[in-house]
Amino acid sequence: MLRRRFLKQIAAAAAVSTATAYGTKIHAAQRRPLRVGVVGGGIVGASMAYHLSQAGAQVTLFEKAQAGSGATQNSFAWLNAFVDDPQYRALRLQSLIAYHDLDVRLKLGIVWGGYTHWASTVAEVKSLRESAAQMSATPFPVRSIDAAELIAMTPSLMPGPVAAAFFSRSDGHLNPVEATLRLLDAARQRGATVILQCEVQGLDRKHGALSGVRTNQGHFPLDRLIVAGGVDTPSILAMTGFDLKLRHAPGILAHSRPTSPITPIIFDAPGDLSFKQMADGSIVGTDSPEPPDTAVHQEIRARVMAFPDEGVRAMHGNRILSKIAAVLPTSRGVTLDRLTLGFRPMPLDELPVVGAIPGMPDVHVAVTHSGVTLAPILGRYVTQEVMTGSRTEALAPFRPERFVEQSLRSTVGAVNEPSAPERAAGAVNELSVRVVAGRTPPMPGR
């Protein structure tokens, strides 16, 4: 009952906000559609282009390489709401609902197979229960399962000792590149222009307002700009004078060649092992949130770059597939197709950065680690804000000005040299902006 009511509320709110808010702006701009540029051809940028074109904007998307060639193609692409922050969790839940709608309309090929997490030792159970608790107050709580049920759900699974386990039915996964291409095709059908191999090199302003962008393929007049460029977002925003820092967060994924169908479920196993089977039959997984801290990986852990050694690449890929085969024996013998190295666009506090740049209402940003999960809802809400000039309440915790506020607090603190009680109060305030240091980054693409 609670779940049905939640779904109806989300659907009704989305329908009203889309029809009313978009319609008002389109009517006001009948003489000329709003010209909106989108920087970035990953899944977030593609969702922006789709929703904007659907709302009647004249959309031009600029992608410096190929569509879906950045963080999107290197994503684990697990659609989920597992996060500590309740407001962030609510946003992700809204996006999962939006994905069901998009899946019907655009045939995205989402596999709604659910997600299973199990622990093999008592020491691992605490972390598992903390993850399960994140969903307890939502319409989609997880269900505890024992070893027998875990195996019954995937008969070919050999999990070993099972100290605790749960199943989450609301989770899904997809091919992120194919989803990106479908969104872009749908945007083109509504009049959007997608320009590949096109790098934005500068912004032009006239009378204090955005007038266009300069690119390696010429100048394009614009009324609004949305920067959804993944790890390139800070360099684009620097053109506006806004300083956004991202954490360097590399991650690797092994991709096998396709094999026969085994399971639609996403698995988190002991030892940081995560894996799934794609709709095309390929096994995708990883055994570490980031490359190991060894000499051969020092450059990768320091900067964005290509994998330097094919031998090391094959070693990682085969190791990961071997670990997966140890718990999923029916995948034994599958051969490595490729190992991807991705760089997650990770804000310093691990929360999305979404909204108009402070002091520049005609330039918006949308950058987040969980771009695959959040793409539909960010496309919907940012479109609403761009087309109407409004501020959506659901995005309030994720505005870019939180970093300006943090910087101002730091500056004032350095000048005034606060007392010990003031420093204690400041420490509490710092928690409110959730700047996290030294926390293990989430898995790729989550």
**pLDDT, mean of residues 209-213:** 97
Q: Which CATH superfamily is domain 111-170+249-347 in?
A: D-Amino Acid Oxidase, subunit A, domain 2 (3.30.9.10)
Q: Report pLDDT digits (tens) over 50-69.
A: 999 999 999 999 999 999 99
Average model confidence (pLDDT) across the chain = 86
Cα angle: 340, vertex 344, 345; to 5 degrees: 150
Whether the predicted pLDDT of 328 surpasses 80: yes
Taking the C-alpha atoms of residue 278 and residue 334, their distance in angstroms, rounded to an integer, is 14
Q: Report pLDDT digits (tens) over 317-327.
A: 999 999 999 99
Lowest mean pLDDT among 24-33, 227-236, 294-303: 24-33
pLDDT at 13: 45
Tell me the CATH architecture of domain 1-110+171-248+348-446.
3-Layer(bba) Sandwich (3.50)
pLDDT at 446: 57
- What 3-state DSSP class applies to 102? helix
Lowest mean pLDDT among 8-12, 256-260, 280-284, 314-318: 8-12
Pairing of strands 115-119, 266-269: parallel
pTM for the predicted model, two decimal places: 0.86
Whether the predicted pLDDT of 284 surpasses 90: yes
- By percentage, how much of the chain surpasses pLDDT 90? 75
Give the DSSP H/E element, type plus range, for residue 193.
strand 193-195
pLDDT at 416: 46
pLDDT at 132: 98
Distant-in-sequence, close-in-space partners of 277: CB < 8 Å, separation ≥ 6: 259, 261, 262, 263, 264, 283, 284
Q: Do 385 and 36 touch, CB atoms closer than 8 A?
A: no
pLDDT top residue among 295 and 445: 295
pLDDT top residue among 189 and 23: 189
pLDDT at 1: 47
User: How sure is the predictor about 24, in pLDDT bands with cuts at 50, 70 and 90?
Assistant: very low
Whether the predicted pLDDT of 227 surpasses 70: yes
Q: Report pLDDT digits (tens) over 173-194.
A: 999 999 999 999 999 999 999 9
User: How sure is the predictor about 25, in pLDDT bands with cuts at 50, 70 and 90?
Assistant: very low
pLDDT at 242: 95
1-110+171-248+348-446 with 111-170+249-347: one CATH topology? no
Whether the predicted pLDDT of 268 surpasses 80: yes
Q: Give the tokens for residue 138.
A: 């939502």
Q: Report pLDDT digits (tens) over 63-88.
A: 999 999 999 999 999 999 999 999 99
Taking the C-alpha atoms of residue 198 and residue 40, their distance in angstroms, rounded to an integer, is 10
Domain boundaries, the chain: 1-110+171-248+348-446, 111-170+249-347
- By percentage, how much of the chain surpasses pLDDT 70? 83
**pLDDT, mean of residues 29-37:** 83
Whether the predicted pLDDT of 427 surpasses 70: no
User: How sure is the predictor about 21, in pLDDT bands with cuts at 50, 70 and 90?
Assistant: very low
Largest CA distance in the chain: 68
Rounded to whole angstroms, what are the CA distances from 422 to 402, 406, 412, 417, 428?
A: 20, 16, 12, 9, 10
Q: How far is CA 13 from the centre of its chain?
A: 23
pLDDT at 302: 75
Lowest mean pLDDT among 13-27, 136-150, 336-350: 13-27
To the nearest 10°, report the CA torsion of 208, 209, 211, 214: 70
